């Protein structure tokens, strides 16, 4: 009897703890959003998005940092997605558990744990100086690509792992080659998972600062090519706040950043849902 | 010991041994497969009947460590389909398979049936459409799905999905169709439809069917092979095997004394 009562007590305590955990998470999220949006939303006018920063960002808008953010993220995703998906397909479909696959997996796991500033340092030494790309969209984008590669590999691998083995067997039994099986029976079904990896990576790219300052610079001049230096919104925010240029503008940039992330996630979720609905 | 059949042959298995790495799963199998007839493989769980079936389309090649010995000769061109020199894809182009559970792709009804044609690079639309329609008719599914070939295959019932899988396997005009316990996941009504269909299909294609259900083997097949512990114990015309089995073991199995 006593042990039975104990079970009920344990159950209630556990329930309370779990509620506390969930509510604290939500509370922290709301606090952050509230703080940034309360300070930042009043700054957001249309002109804030359409004008370039003036006098170091004290006035004007954030058009160039927006372009910088989008450009770097696009370069990173375009480079990292085929590499990451290709690696995941290789690991799951083209090689059996072996020394090579273990080395690759160990490598990506390590890569995932490396702090972004180290990627920045690597990008600075390799892309900026050694390959002579200078501080540029390309150097920054490639550095970001290296940074998000583990995420894309990992989510793609998980997505491929979840596909029933029967799809492969059927595809082969109908005379499919390995490549046809991968492209027709496996990747279409892994697409939602791959998409999740890309979304996570976009979030990481948009929010990154340290690695970008070292590889893309912090120029406020409108870029003209992939070799132009650029400043992203997150870097802009950091510099405005860190150097005490304008807290007001920093909050405005922060609010815009949050809206951008929300926007990207909403669009991506919408696309994903449409894709899933289209297939079911 | 193994009965020789007098009809036209589609395949002849000679001294087949099969190993999962070190475990020998099939031992010295000799068997003749009659053309455009139904050959049933029966036997208790683990006797090797599915392993044997999967030799015919080289499914074992998908996993490491598997090894074949001996010959499976496919007629008329006398191709040894388990020879390491033969590309398994070439074999699977001629011999297709229907699996135990209905396993359509998450694609439309049409694209499921068209899959085998697509991987063969067939892109002529009217030809693909004709073949898909023909296969769905052969699989006795056309009347039920002709207005919704663009629907997702998952929306069909279990029995319809299995007939869809049969249509998918038929669309490429295989010479042999392998069935691996095709009705074990279906209800009795769906099962009898599939059985009728299988009997219809033997007019056009040679069929080998693995089944757990002895009545099913007795109902649909022309020849029956009884397997036990990786060996063929008895092979003969189905009515002979079920009415006058020559081996005690066969008799014990079909009368339900074990299995």
Residues on chain A touching B59 (C-beta within 8 angstroms):
169, 172-173
Range of A214's domain? Answer: 47-279
Residue B33 — φ and ψ, nearest 5°? -110, 115
Same domain, A33 and A151: no
Nearest-CB residue to B168 (from A166, A169, A174): A174
Same domain, A7 and A111: no
CB contact under 8 A, B99 and A170: yes
Q: Which helix H or strand E contains B9, and what residues bound it? A: strand B9-20
Structure token pair of residue A8 = 């009920």
Q: Indicate the pairing of strand B79-80 with strand B66-74.
A: antiparallel
Percent of chain B predicted with pLDDT > 90: 76
Structure token pair of residue A162 = 């979840």
B41 in Cβ contact with B208 (< 8 Å): yes
Residue B2 has pLDDT above 80, yes or no: no
Same domain, A25 and A53: no
Q: Between residues A278 and A149, which one has the greater pLDDT?
A: A149
CA atoms within 13 A on the CB side of B222: 20
Same domain, A198 and A221: yes
Q: Which residue of A has its CA nearest to B119?
A: A176
Q: What is the pLDDT of residue B259?
A: 63
Same domain, A26 and A151: no
Q: What is the dihedral of CA A143, A149, A151, A156, to 10 degrees?
A: 160
| ipTM surpasses 0.95 | no
CB contact under 8 A, B62 and A169: yes
Residue A276 has pLDDT above 50, yes or no: yes
Average pLDDT, chain A: 90
Interface of A with B (CB under 8 A): 96, 164, 166-177, 180, 184-185, 188-189, 279-280
Helix (H, G, I), strand (E, B) or coil at A231: coil
User: Where along chain B do its domains lie?
Assistant: 9-254
Band of pLDDT at residue B76, cut at 50, 70 and 90 = confident
Band of pLDDT at residue A246, cut at 50, 70 and 90 = confident
Residue B87 has pLDDT above 70, yes or no: yes
Q: What pLDDT digit, counting tens, does each position of A28-46 carry? A: 999 999 998 998 888 888 8
CB contact under 8 A, A167 and B105: yes
| Mean pLDDT across A64-75 | 94
Q: What pLDDT digit, counting tens, does each position of B165-185 carry? A: 999 999 999 999 999 999 988
Computed over its alpha carbons, how large is the radius of gyration of chain B? 18
Q: Report the gap between the CA of A210 and the closest CA in chain B (Å).
A: 43
Nearest to A148 by CA among A87, A104, A221, A198: A198
Q: Report the gap between the CA of B54 and the closest CA in chain A (Å).
A: 10
| CATH number for domain B9-254, candidates 3.30.460.10, 3.40.50.300, 1.10.10.10, 3.30.465.10 | 3.40.50.300
Same domain, A171 and A74: yes
Residue A152 — φ and ψ, nearest 5°? -65, -40
Q: What is the pLDDT of residue B1?
A: 45
Q: What pLDDT digit, counting tens, does each position of A190-226 carry? A: 988 898 899 889 989 998 999 999 999 888 888 898 9
Band of pLDDT at residue A95, cut at 50, 70 and 90 = confident
Question: Does residue B76 have a cis peptide bond before it, meaning omega lies within 30 degrees of 0?
Answer: yes
Count: domains in chain A: 2
Q: CA–CA separation, B245 vs B259, rounded Å?
A: 16
Is residue B56 exposed (0-12), middle (13-18) or buried (19+ Cβ within 10 Å)? buried
Q: What is the pLDDT of residue B75?
A: 85
Q: CA–CA separation, A200 vs B117, rounded Å?
A: 38
Q: Is B183 on the interface with A (CB under 8 A)?
A: no
Same domain, A157 and A265: yes
Is the sign of the CA dihedral A270, A271, A274, A280 positive or negative?
negative
């Amino acid at each position: 009897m006593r042990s039975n009562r104990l079970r009920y007590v344990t159950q209630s305590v556990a329930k309370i703890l779990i509620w506390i955990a969930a509510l604290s998470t939500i509370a922290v999220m709301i606090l952050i959003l509230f703080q940034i949006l309360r300070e930042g939303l009043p700054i957001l006018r249309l002109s804030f998005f359409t004008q370039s920063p003036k006098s170091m960002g004290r006035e004007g808008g954030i058009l160039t940092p927006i372009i910088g953010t989008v450009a770097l993220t696009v370069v990173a995703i375009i480079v990292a997605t085929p590499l990451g998906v290709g690696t995941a397909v290789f690991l799951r479909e083209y090689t059996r558990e072996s020394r090579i696959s273990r080395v690759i997996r160990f490598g990506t796991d390590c890569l995932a744990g490396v702090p972004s500033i180290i990627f920045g340092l690597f990008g600075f030494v390799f892309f900026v100086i050694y390959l002579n790309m200078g501080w540029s969209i390309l150097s920054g984008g490639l550095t970001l690509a290296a940074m998000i590669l583990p995420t894309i590999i990992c989510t793609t691998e998980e997505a491929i792992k979840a596909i029933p083995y029967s799809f492969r067997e059927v595809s082969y039994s109908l005379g499919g080659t390995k490549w046809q099986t991968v492209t027709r029976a496996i990747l279409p079904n892994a697409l939602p998972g791959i998409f999740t990896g890309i979304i996570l990576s976009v979030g990481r790219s948009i929010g990154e600062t340290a690695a970008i300052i070292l590889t893309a610079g912090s120029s406020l001049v409108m870029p003209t090519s992939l070799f132009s230096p650029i400043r992203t919104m997150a870097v802009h925010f950091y510099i405005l706040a860190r150097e005490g240029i304008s807290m007001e503008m920093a909050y405005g940039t922060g609010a815009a950043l949050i809206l951008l992330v929300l926007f990207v996630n909403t669009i991506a979720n919408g696309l994903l849902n449409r894709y899933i609905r289209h297939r079911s | 010991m193994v009965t020789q059949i007098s009809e036209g042959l589609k395949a002849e298995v000679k001294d087949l041994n099969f190993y999962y790495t070190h475990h020998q799963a099939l031992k010295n199998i000799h068997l003749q497969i009659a053309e455009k007839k139904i050959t049933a493989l029966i036997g208790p769980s683990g006797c090797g009947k599915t392993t044997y079936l999967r030799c015919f389309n080289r499914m074992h090649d998908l996993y490491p460590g598997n090894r074949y010995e001996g010959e499976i000769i496919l007629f008329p061109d006398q191709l040894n389909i388990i020879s390491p020199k033969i590309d398994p894809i070439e074999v699977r182009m001629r011999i297709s398979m229907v699996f135990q559970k209905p396993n359509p792709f998450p694609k439309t009804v049409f694209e499921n049936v068209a899959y085998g044609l697509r991987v063969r690079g067939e892109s002529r639309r009217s030809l693909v459409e004709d073949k898909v329609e023909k296969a769905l008719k052969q699989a006795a599914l056309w009347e039920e799905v002709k207005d919704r070939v663009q629907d997702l295959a998952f929306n069909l019932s279990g029995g319809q999905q299995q007939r869809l899988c049969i249509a998918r396997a038929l669309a490429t005009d295989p010479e042999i169709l392998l069935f691996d316990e095709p009705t074990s996941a279906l209800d009795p009504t769906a099962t009898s439809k599939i059985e009728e269909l299988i009997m219809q299909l033997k007019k056009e294609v040679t069929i080998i069917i693995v089944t757990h259900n002895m009545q099913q083997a007795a109902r649909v097949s022309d020849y029956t092979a009884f397997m036990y512990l990786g060996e063929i114990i008895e092979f003969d015309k189905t009515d002979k095997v079920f009415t006058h089995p020559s081996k005690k073991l066969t008799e014990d199995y079909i009368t339900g004394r074990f299995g």
